[in-house]
Amino acid sequence: MSEHAAFASSETASPEIRVVSELVARARKAMQAFADANQGRVDEGVTALAWSIYKPEHAKELAEAAVQDTGLGNVSDKITKNQRKTFGTLRDLLRVKTVGVIENDSARGIVKYAKPVGVVAAISPSTNPAATPVNKAMMAIKGRNAIIIAPSPAGWPTTARAVELMRMELEKIGLRADLVQVLPAPVNKALTQALMKACDLVVATGSQNNVRSAYSSGTPAIGVGTGNVPVIIDSSADLDDAAQKICASKIFDNATSCSSENSLVIVDDVYDHAIAALKAAGGYLATADEKQAIKDALWVDGRLNRKLVAKDAGVFSREVGLPEAARQARFFMVEEQGVGRDYPFSDEKLSLVLTLYRVGDFEAAARRTQEILNYIGRGHSCGIHTKDMDHARRLAGEIEVVRVLVNQAHTFGNGGGFDNGLNFTLSMGCGTWGGNSISENLNYRHFINITHLCTVIAEDKPAEQDLFGAYWSRYGR
C-alpha cells in the first residue's frame, strides 16, 4: 500500500482525500480490466467517447448547457466546437498505434512498446466544459489509461453531463464506465488538489493558477500557457481574405478560445485598406472616446468584467453604451500605441475586442509582435497574413512561440485544422517560454509511457579524428 493510500484510508484523512481515493481506486480497477485490450478494442473505446459528444442531439444539449451554466460563448459555435474538435481528434487518434510495438528501428536495434501512464487528472476550464473533458478523455483512453475530470465550479453541471454520456457509451460497448469519472460537486480547490496528488499524471487547461498548482502538486504534470495572439497583416497580404478569416476566428464562440486573435499588427502601407476590409467584414472602429468607454467597462478593478467576457456583440455594445452603428457590428476594434501594464488593450481580452497597431514595416511588426507576447502570451502563438514566405519563415525563426500560422483563421487552425498539420486539441503547450513542459499541441503521445527494447547492433564508434578533427585543426589540441 502506498503512503498516500495508507494516509487516505486512515481515520484522519480529510473528506477530500477520502472522496478522491475512492475515485482513484475505481479508476485503477477499470484500468486493470482494460489492460489487455488490443488496438482495435482501444480504438472502439476512443470512438465511443467521440460519439458521445459528436452525436448531434448531444452536441446541442451540451452546448446549450455550457452557455446556460457559464454564461460564456454562444450555442451555435459550441455545437460546432463539440463536433469539429472531436471529429478532428478522432481522425488523429485512429491513425496511430498505442498498444504493443509502436516502432521498430532495426538499424538502431530499438523496438518501442507503448504502456499506459496511469490515472490521469484532467483540469478543465469553464470556457469549454464539455469539449475539453471529452478531448482529454479520448487521448487518455487511447493510451489505455483512466481519467478523472476536475471541472471548473461554474462548468460542473455541463461536465458532469458530458461524463455521464461518455460513461453510457463505454458501457454500451462493454467497457468499464469508471475509465471516465468526474469529481463530485461542489468542486473546490482542496478537492482538485487532492486529485492532483493522488493521480499519476495531471493535465491542466485553464487559468495559470490551475497550471501552477498542477506543476507544484508533486505529480508529473502538463500545463498550458496564456493566449494573447498577435497577428501581422503584411504589405503583401490578401486583405479581403485576411479580414474575412480574422472576423470568423475572432467572433467564434464570442472569443472564448485562447487562440482567438487579440491584436492585429498592420504594416503602414496597407493600414487604411486593411481597416476598410475589416470594417467590410463586420468590424467597428471605436473613436478615442469609445475606446475609453470600452476600457472602463471591460476592466473593473483591474480584472475583466464577467458581464462582458465572451458575450454577444449586441450585449457588449449595449453594456458599454456604444452608438447604434456599433450595435450592428460583429466585433470591435481599438487603436493602440503601447504595450504593457499601462496599455490594457495589449492584454488578452476574452471578448470581441481587437487591438490594432500601426507599424512602419515588417521588421517593426515582428518587434511589436514579440513585445506583445513578452507582456502576455509568451510561447503561445502568433500569425501572419502575407504572400511573402520569407517573412513567415523569419517570423518562425525569430519569435519565441510554439506555433506561427500563415494565412489562416487562428482559432480554427491553432488547435489543429483539416488544412494544416497540427494535431487537433483543446490544450496548447507553450514551451518553457510559457512555463510549460511541452512545446506542441497536447496529443496522444503525452498519455503513453514507452519501453525501449535495446538489442546489440554493429559497433557505431567513429574515430577520434572524425569527431575532433575540425576542432583540432582550428584551435589545436
Residues forming the active site: 258
Yes or no: say if 358 and 271 are a contact pair by the CB < 8 Å rule: yes
Residue 167, C-alpha cell as written in the block: 460513461
Q: What are phi and psi of 193, to 5 degrees?
A: -65, -40
Whole-angstrom CA distances from 395 to 107, 146, 264, 404, 412 are 37, 40, 15, 8, 20
Q: How many residues does the chain have?
A: 477
Give the DSSP letter of residue 143.
Answer: T
- C-alpha closest to that of 208 among 428, 438, 435: 435
Give the DSSP letter of residue 187.
Answer: P
Yes or no: say if 249 and 212 are a contact pair by the CB < 8 Å rule: no
The answer to whether the peptide bond before residue 186 is cis (omega within 30 degrees of 0) is: yes
Angle 19-21-22 (CA atoms, 0-180°, nearest 5)?
Answer: 70
Chain position carrying cell 498505434: 97
- C-alpha closest to that of 115 among 148, 144, 147: 144
Q: What is the DSSP string of 44-106?
A: HHHHHHHHHHHSHHHHHHHHHHHHHHH--S-HHHHHHHHHHHHHHHHHHHHTS--SEEEEEET
Q: What are phi and psi of 452, to 5 degrees?
A: -105, 115
Three-state SS at 12: coil
Neighbours of 37 (CB within 10 A): 16
d(CA 403, CA 379): 8
Cα 2 to its chain centre, rounded Å, is 33
Neighbours of 323 (CB within 10 A): 11
Three-state SS at 114: strand
Angle 357-360-361 (CA atoms, 0-180°, nearest 5)?
Answer: 105
Yes or no: say if 31 and 179 are a contact pair by the CB < 8 Å rule: yes
